């Protein structure tokens, strides 16, 4: 993929030599907002990952996969029993953390946790790069590591940041805070700070907390203004790390944040996907790290019926969406569009026609965004229109349908042919069919270029996306309802 080299040299150089290659000061708050715009049934052995149950999250129904471990110590044997654990009790955890795990319905470690936790919790601490899809327990794994490394023995320690978790969006940051609150609910003195862009008329107060969860630009700003003290940090976690290191804006900010932290900090990177060039950068960002990858069908999104609808033009797209409204409210639905302007316009028109929808984009003030996502989680809003800001990590169990109103595409200046964004497609449709449930994704195609991008997606993932004929809406309704009600969608996704 052709791209321009940003100021300060290649991303690889800027990760390995951040002090030498930092660009001139930029307005961090704006940079963060721009990056965001661009990215724009419990049974005994079930566990919850992603959002906590109180936030409407999904139960984990673990698929079959194999975990591969690559140790930074070449003399060590990754198959040694010391590098795997079958029970949380064997990890020597604080009983109050075990109590929190029990409250989350965690009975035993998931497969990724079996291999990751001994590596994460070892002393002296070692860096870890983990490739693990949503629904495998990665959020709980890094939260468990964070909680186990906190010193809460004094009031001063409780008010001093000791762990920092970075996420690409405020919505994912708030979701992670929810997991920490549930898992750490029995730890006396645990305080959590959220470092996300403040509303234009609000100011951040001093971060007096033991764990900080936030977005990179805001965290960098708070450290530089001495609102957040970074000298005692022990753990740095990047969730959705491929997205964080591959985006120019967020990548720069993550590198700059790391340059402000203690040199001996434990660095933990987790992501569902690690393209080769990002993996190379990740190994520099977290040097001498142990690595965990999922083999077999680990990137399969099962249970998602992928469909597409032919639309004659942009206006026909909108009319098709309106025709689908009754189906969108069977469960909850997310409509992904390319720009903030599109989201605002669709919301305005649908509300004017009497439909109940909400929109959430990077351009909305922070507190308003929080209110919208909370309303959606609680089921008070059934249809959410958004940009790629919600494509990653967000877990709302009731989502049964995703609409690609605009096919996700890469922005390549100077390149004539439009190129589909495969990873964003994967993450978008992964908002439905969560953890073994059934879901439907429908892509709208209104011209030859969008048709070609949809074909690129089919070829890349070696999958079939079925056309539905919009001339017969009774048939459309029957196909979709039948899929949502079936025990399992039959089309696999690779």
Question: Distance (Å, rounded) from C-alpha 185 to C-alpha 168?
Answer: 25
- Helix H or strand E segment including 284: helix 276-285
Secondary structure in 3-state letters for 408-430? CEECCCCCCCCEECHHHHHHHHC
| Domain end call among 274, 297, 320 | 297
Low pLDDT (below 50) residues in the chain: 1-48, 61, 296-300, 487-494
DSSP-derived 3-state class of residue 461: helix
Q: Is 320 helix (H, G, I), strand (E, B) or coil?
A: helix
Whole-angstrom distance, CA of residue 439 vs CA of residue 302? 9
**Mind listing the pLDDT tens digit for each residue in 194-224?**
999 876 667 778 899 999 999 999 999 999 9
53 vs 26: CA distance, rounded Å = 39
In terms of domains, do 284 and 411 share one? no
Q: What is the per-residue pLDDT for 168?
A: 87
Domain boundary pick from 297, 330, 350: 297
Is 6 inside any structural domain?
no
For residue 123 the two structure tokens come to 């002393």
Whether 311 and 378 map to the same domain: the answer is yes
| Domain match, 245 and 312 both | no
Q: Examine residue 170 and state whether it is found in any structural domain, yes or no.
A: yes
CA distance 7 to 336: 31
Largest CA distance in the chain: 68
**Same structural domain for residues 429 and 395?**
yes
Say if 372 falls within a structural domain. Answer: yes
Given 297, 316, 345, which residue is the final one in a domain?
297
Are 340 and 435 part of one and the same domain?
A: yes
289: domain CATH number is 3.40.50.300
Q: What is the pLDDT of residue 161?
A: 97
Cα radius of gyration rounded to whole Å, the chain: 22
Q: Is 265 exposed, middle or buried (0-12, 13-18, 19+ CB in 10 A)?
A: middle
Q: Same domain, yes or no, for 347 and 328?
A: yes
Tell me phi and psi for residue 336, to 5 degrees.
-95, 125
pLDDT at 24: 40
The sheet with strand 466-468 has its strands ordered as 358-360, 383-386, 332-336, 399-404, 439-445, 304-310, 466-468
Domain interval for residue 373: 304-490
Residue 218 sits in the same domain as residue 113: yes
Q: Are residues 220 and 312 in the same domain?
A: no
* Same-domain status, 453 and 468: yes
- Counting the structural domains of the chain, the total is 2
Q: What is the token pair recorded at 277?
A: 């060039």
- Measured distance CA(179)–CA(193) in Å, rounded: 13
| Residue 23 within a domain | no
Q: Which residue has the tokens 């900010």?
A: 253
CA distances (Å), origin 209, targets 125, 233, 317, 363: 22, 11, 48, 28
Strand partners of residue 60: 47
Contact partners, residue 150, CB within 8 Å, separation at least 6: 162, 163, 187, 190, 210, 211
């Amino acid at each position: 993929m052709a791209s321009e080299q940003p100021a300060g040299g290649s991303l690889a150089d800027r990760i390995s030599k951040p002090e030498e290659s930092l660009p001139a000061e930029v307005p961090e708050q704006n940079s963060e907002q721009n990056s965001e715009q661009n990215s724009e049934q419990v049974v005994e052995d079930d566990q919850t990952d992603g959002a906590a149950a109180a936030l409407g999250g999904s139960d984990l129904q673990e698929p079959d996969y194999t975990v591969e471990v690559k140790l930074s110590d070449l003399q060590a044997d990754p198959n040694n029993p010391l590098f795997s654990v079958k029970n949380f009790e064997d990890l020597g955890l604080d009983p109050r953390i075990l109590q929190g795990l029990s409250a989350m319905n965690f009975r035993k470690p998931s497969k990724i946790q079996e291999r990751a936790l001994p590596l994460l919790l070892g002393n002296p601490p070692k860096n870890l790069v983990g490739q693990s899809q949503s629904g495998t327990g990665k959020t709980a794994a890094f939260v468990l590591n964070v909680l186990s490394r906190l010193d809460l023995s004094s009031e001063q320690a409780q008010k001093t940041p000791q762990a920092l978790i970075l996420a690409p969006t405020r919505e994912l940051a708030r979701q992670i805070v929810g997991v920490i609150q549930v898992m750490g609910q029995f730890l006396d003195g645990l305080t959590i700070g959220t470092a996300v862009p403040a509303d234009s008329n609000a100011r951040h107060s001093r971060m007096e907390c033991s764990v900080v969860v936030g977005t990179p630009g805001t965290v960098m700003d708070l450290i530089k203004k001495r609102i957040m003290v970074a000298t005692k940090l022990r753990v740095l976690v990047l969730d959705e790390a491929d997205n964080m290191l591959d985006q120019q804006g967020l990548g720069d900010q993550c590198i700059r944040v790391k340059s402000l932290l203690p040199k001996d900090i434990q660095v933990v990177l987790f992501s569902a996907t690690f393209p080769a060039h990002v993996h190379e950068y990740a190994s520099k960002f977290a040097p001498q790290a142990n690595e965990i990858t999922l083999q077999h069908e680990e990137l399969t999104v099962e249970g998602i019926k992928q469909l597409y609808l032919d639309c004659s033009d942009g206006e026909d797209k909108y009319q098709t969406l309106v025709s689908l409204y009754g189906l969108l409210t069977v469960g909850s639905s997310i409509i992904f569009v390319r720009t903030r302007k599109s989201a605002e316009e669709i919301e305005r028109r649908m509300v004017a026609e009497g439909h109940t929808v909400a929109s959430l984009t990077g351009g909305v003030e922070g507190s308003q965004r929080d209110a919208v996502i909370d309303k959606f989680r609680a089921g008070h809003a059934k249809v959410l229109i958004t940009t790629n800001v919600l494509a990653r990590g967000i877990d709302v169990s009731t989502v049964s349908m995703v609409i690609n109103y605009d096919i996700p595409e890469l922005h390549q200046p100077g390149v004539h042919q439009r190129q589909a964004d495969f990873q964003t497609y994967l993450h978008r449709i992964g908002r439905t069919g969560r953890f073994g449930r059934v879901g439907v994704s429908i892509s709208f195609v209104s011209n030859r270029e969008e048709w070609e991008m949809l074909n690129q997606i089919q070829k890349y993932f070696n999958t079939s996306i079925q056309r539905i004929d919009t001339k017969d809406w009774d048939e459309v309704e029957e196909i979709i309802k039948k899929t949502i009600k079936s025990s399992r969608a039959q089309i696999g996704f690779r």
